[in-house]
Structure 1
Amino acid sequence: MKANKSITFRALPLAEFAQLALQETYESFLFNTNRHLLLQKNPNVWVFGAEQNQKILARCNIFLNESVGYSPWRMSFGGIEFCPKLSYEVLHNFVVFLTSFCKQELQLQKLHIKQYPFSYTESNSHLLTQILLQNGFSVQNQELTQYIQVNQPFEENLHLSEKRRLQKALKAGFVVEWWQNPDWKQVFTFVAEARKRRSFPLTMNETDFYETVATFPEKYSVFVVKKNAEIVALTVGVKVSRKVFYNFYPADNPSFLSYSPMVLLTKGLVDFCKEQSFEILDLGISTENGKANTGLIRFKKNLGSQNALKLSFVKILD
């Protein structure tokens, strides 16, 4: 434990840290909450926090495996979260504390930290990136994500080609709806088949998927495009925070690809986000280990999206 002008830096195993019941000065992203960390199937996780007056100002969760630390272990991102009002000096010192503790107390030789997209907290992301680079971290991987600002008029920002596809789907009688009591086995099978067809990896196996949606039924939602009773396309959406809704597992039916049902599905997601007061619809990455999927980037751009980096950092603790 280290104090800094009434701010305390602390590192504890997750079970001990959770007992502190500290009040947040910012909203944690879902994947970095205590309950969600338990789903990552690595019990050896330490929580690093900056605290003041029983309030948490900054936090990072590090999973241990042999002599390497990971944030996250198995999830879209982990990383360092912090209050936007936190000073440069305190955040810098927190990063120094984290790396020193990992090296000296946990005997780690390397740290991997995958941050959330810049679009989630742009100012924080710029600040943290500079501090990590100044403290010996290097960029291990850079992914490109796209997102839609929900307060913008969706159809006006569509490319002409996507406007035509949207009208084609609507004229064919397609409808988009929120599937409020989904058959999760049917959902997983539909997603798995679509991703296999496109040679996209599944980031969760079937057992982990069911456990996750059962643990957080209020955070995971399914949206479907239908033609009568037949599913044309669907996606699993995640409420990452009050601000961010994540289009996690989009999938389509190969029989209806000529209608580009993802355009209508995206419109449904944007409408839902507006109704629920989200600010950002995260469309996910369009790269794989930094290699661009140019067709996917073009499609998302045609949907009116904007670009944001998602960086992964590494540091050798020598």
Structure 2
Amino acid sequence: MLEFLRFQKDEEQAWDLFVPKTNNGTIFHLRSFLNYHPESRFKDHSVMVRKKGSLFSLLPAAEQVLKGKKTLVSHPGATVGSFTLPENLSIADSFGLVKKLIEYAKNEKFQCIRISLPPNLYQRRLSNYMEYSFFKFGFVYAKREVTSILFLEETIEKTEMKFRPSHLRAVRKAIDKNIVVKQSKNIEAFYAILKDNLEIRHGVSPTHTLGELMNLFNLFPDKIRLFAAFYDELMIAGVVTFQINQRVLLAFYISHDERYSDLRAVNILFYNIFEWAIKSKFEVFDFGIFTVNGEPNMGLGRFKENFGASGIFRDTIELNLDC
């Protein structure tokens, strides 16, 4: 019997200690990550699931009004969400989770449920039981994005064999131009590059404010890193990586100074990140999505493919409850 209980603040420690024990827990499931947002930004409605009195699953969630409906959503402060799951999840328990979720949402007077599913490769032990269960109970796709995934080999030499020749030449060019790559604490310099780049290319601002990003670096010094490329000691490009879990590393922000594009700093940045990730025992590198509301940025997708990446879904699903 599964019991759904609304999360209480005094359970934060128990929550965060539980996440790493699960099959698919990520940095985005941690309360210590979700709490960097001001309390007033989201109306938290996270859920803890118990089975026979023991903690079984966690669902980071919030209340929002979407299209005029009171909606239980995967926590908006996280890139992905859904339930944390045990490695030995049974089909019966996956059905039970979805059935109880619907009952709970109806009892709480929600009119819709919207869940952001993590890519399958974020799991240690692959399983589609939850997706199967969601759809058996009537969930449908709300959005399907595509993220670019690279499987890292045991050495950088074997990994670079997946690169297209043009990308290998770009790495060599950056080396010839004396581009230096290293981890950096200069978040302000990177943020200036990021802000300018997003405004020029897309007319938008970064997801995080500078203060929020610096706070995240302080909260997770071992899980969030800035890899930066320097030319004559000037930062000209950077990649902010998030350690999703023990096997997956995500590129959350990628940006460069347009004035130095011909130096191919981003190419050598990724080469060095792959090398570091392999030594750190990561198995998968996630470049992030190259689609927005399902529409592809073909140039960005091709850039990631040239490193040997391929695309997998990052899905959002929903269920109208009509209650």
Task: Verify same fold: TM over 0.5.
Answer: yes
Q: What residue in structure 2 maps to residue 169 of structure 1?
A: 174
Q: CA deviation at 1:26?
A: 1.4
Greater Cα shift, 168-177 or 46-55: 46-55
For residues 30-57 of structure 1, the C-alpha deviation after alignment (integer angstroms, 9 at most, x for no partner) is 1111211222444632333343477543
What are the residue-to-residue correspondences of 1:163-312 with 2, within 5 Å? 163-179=168-184, 182-199=185-202, 201=204, 202-312=206-316
What are the residue-to-residue correspondences of 1:63-102 with 2, within 5 Å? 63-66=62-65, 67-102=70-105
Q: Using the aligned pairs only, state the percent identity.
A: 18
Greater Cα shift, 56-65 or 39-48: 39-48
Give the match's secondary structure for 1:80: coil
For residues 203-237 of structure 1, the C-alpha deviation after alignment (integer angstroms, 9 at most, x for no partner) is 12233223322222222111011122022211111
Greater Cα shift, 143-152 or 51-60: 51-60
Q: What residue in structure 2 maps to residue 116 of structure 1?
A: 118
State the number of aligned residues.
Answer: 309
Taking the aligned partners of 1:306 and 1:125, their CA distance within structure 2 comes to: 20
* TM-score normalised per structure 1: 0.89
Q: What residue in structure 2 maps to residue 150 of structure 1?
A: 152
2:4–2:104 CA contact under 8 A, matched in 1: no
1:11 aligns with 2:5: yes
Q: CA deviation at 1:23?
A: 4.3
Greater Cα shift, 205-214 or 116-125: 116-125
For residues 114-159 of structure 1, the C-alpha deviation after alignment (integer angstroms, 9 at most, x for no partner) is 1112221286563222211111111000000012112262221100
Unaligned runs of 5+ in 2: none
1:223–1:234 CA contact under 8 A, matched in 2: yes
After TM superposition, which residue ranges in structure 1, 4 or more long, deviate above 6 angstroms?
Answer: none
Q: CA deviation at 1:113?
A: 0.9
Give the match's secondary structure for 2:245: coil
Taking the aligned partners of 2:159 and 2:280, their CA distance within structure 1 comes to: 16
Distance 1:212 1:19, change over 3 A: closer
Q: What residue in structure 1 maps to residue 29 of structure 2?
A: 32
For residues 163-219 of structure 1, the C-alpha deviation after alignment (integer angstroms, 9 at most, x for no partner) is 11111111111121122xx12222222211122222164212233223322222222
Q: What residue in structure 1 maps to residue 44 of structure 2?
A: 45
AA in 2 matched with 1:214: N
C-alpha RMSD of matched pairs (Å): 2.2
